[in-house]
Amino acid sequence: MNAGNSKTKRWLLQTERFSVERVCRELPNGQRRTREVIRHPGAVVILPMVDDDHVCLIENYRVAVGRSLFELPAGTLEAGEDPLEAAVRELAEETGYRGGTWSPMHSFLVSPGILDERMYLFRAIGLEPGPPAREPGEEIQNVVVPWNEAMAMVQRGEIEDAKTLIGLLLADRDRSAENAGPLRSQRPE
């Protein structure tokens, strides 16, 4: 599919964390279409496994929805920052957990109809607890739950945050595949 050509761009708003741009582009049929696009530097999200069967969620007050949500720890990338370095920094700041072994799980676009934000998802295991270094005004509490309870929270609709659903469900798929093993995955004769 031919995406057309961007012809004009105009900044409508610039804040410390994001900007809004009006983009007018010509479609393949010659028509012009104008859209407002939120430009975001990207973010990281972390699946912190406290041990093999416990995950650290956070309960985080979100002004946009006017209440606290259960989420995986996450944060915005600084300009030019490596996603893994940002993930390590954000986990320590929000939860106090440090160290461990880190592995990338996935990256995804948050809401590409209006926003160019890409999130980088990491799994962290073998973590050591410590004091968090939360930013002033952050209303965050650690909530360590058994893995099965986290999955039950998803099923009951208690976890509504998309990045958290993606992280937990991808990890659950991986856990299921690991538990299947070569013998269990074969059909009985």
Residue of 56, 64, 61 lying closest to 90 (CA atoms): 56
Q: Is 36 a catalytic residue?
A: no
Distance (Å, whole) CA 74 – CA 160: 15
Please name the residues in contact with 169: beta carbons below 8 A apart, sequence gap of 6 or more: 154
Provide the H-helix boundaries in 35-158. Answer: 83-95, 147-155
Residue of 22, 38, 129, 49 lying closest to 76 (CA atoms): 38
Identify residue 21 by its one-letter amino acid code: E
**List 59, 138, 139, 158, catalytic entry:** 138
Contact 113, 155 (CB under 8 A): no
What radius of gyration, in Å, describes the C-alpha atoms of the chain?
Answer: 20
**Residues with a known catalytic role:** 138
